[in-house]
Amino acid sequence: MTETADVLEELGPWQRPLRAQFPIIVANPELAYLDSAATAQKPRAVLEAVQHYLATSNANAGRGSYPWANATTAAVERAGDRVKEFLGDPAPDRSSVHFTSGTSEGLRTVARDWLAGLLTDGDEIVVPFADHEANLAPWLEVRELLERQGVKIRVRELPYQDSSGDYDPAALAASVGPRTRFVAATHVHHVYGVDMNVHRIRRVVGPEVPICLDAAQSVGHVPFSVAGLDVDFVVFSGHKAMALPGTGAVWARGRRGPRLRPGGWAGTPNTVGIVSLAAALDWLDAAGTDRIEAWTVALAARLTDGLSRLGAYEVLGCRSSLAAGSEVQRRRSIVTFRHRAIPSRDLGFILYSHGFMVRSDGHCQAGAGDADGSVRVSLHVHNTSEEIEKLVATLRSLQ
């Protein structure tokens, strides 16, 4: 526990003022919000940016020449540049950003408006079958769409390691061939909380195969660099990164294949959501995503260590990473577990009665059913070690 305790003690003076910037957290000191993977709470700076925009320059973007419209258009353009900067884009002049309602729509946009037009009879794509449903359904829809047009493609499963839940690069090598045209992957798993080591996928598939990355659980939670990942699409949800709901983005490199050009008529964008996203990215940069990651990883380690001492619970994902002194890769702010006797939905209700707001269901995991329900604790910068200690004590009382 020493290393985890040291991190929490060192970062405490940094974390406490940040926690105070979340009005909903401050107003409810008796509750612990532990569901940031579903939606993140909003700091005061984001709320103020939204209020300022609506009170001073609310208008449509790209559809007027008066000052309010010009200011809104400029705000949307700045937000696109801000996304590129936040993702560490090394060549922003050659990439593009397309705003969507969130990750689900963003992945569907890549599938429908980019991938479908590139595939021919006999081509193969490799996609995850046990990540979020949003990162499977669009690729299966492409297969069905092409089948109706008389084009048959093969959808291969991105393989996983049984021991950790991470992708299995050795098994992946056997699934990649000369007709592999595309790979979809996830950066941080929404159930296991593990960094899926996407850089290893690039080494296996080679330099020419496009990779689309679901970054819903990493953007805003951990430091991010598209240069280091060498992917072609990054898709994320703004509401998981402290922006308003109904906001998301697709970053497209445009190097392997044609540029992404979303189809259909471009209607009115979610201008207020886009403004909130730019403000959220500003706040996250000022706070420091490296320190946010260190804080939440330490809290997750404290929780897994506590759960490892309670025989009534099964923690999903890599078992060898549970102890606080483990050298195995840590969970990135997400810890998911089951009680061996209490159904997960019931456990969720019980925990709320003790002041803990958690997710308790199948977490939209592809292929999961009612029997696969579990409790997910997802952390952010406003959470505290005291909340984790109280949670562990509560779980201990339920053994």
pLDDT, averaged per 10 consecutive residues of the chain (399 residues), comes to 86 98 98 98 98 97 92 97 98 96 98 97 97 98 98 97 88 95 97 93 96 98 93 98 98 94 89 98 98 97 95 90 80 94 96 97 87 93 98 96
pLDDT of residue 1: 53
Q: Which two tokens mark 210?
A: 């496009």
pLDDT of residue 399: 84
Alpha-carbon span 22 to 82, nearest angstrom? 22
CB atoms within 10 A of CB 42: 23
pLDDT of residue 70: 96
Q: Which two tokens mark 117?
A: 């037009």
CB atoms within 10 A of CB 35: 19
pLDDT of residue 371: 74
Each residue's pLDDT tens digit, 285-302? 999 999 999 999 999 999
For residues 319, 323, 325 and 330, what is the CA-based torsion angle, rounded to 10 degrees? 50
Sign of CA dihedral 284, 222, 394, 5: negative
Helix extents (H) in 152-270: 169-175, 198-205, 226-229
Alpha-carbon span 329 to 318, nearest angstrom? 9
Mean pLDDT of the chain: 95
Helix, strand, coil share of the chain (percent; to 5): 45, 15, 40
Per DSSP (E only), the strands in 61-127 are 96-100, 124-127
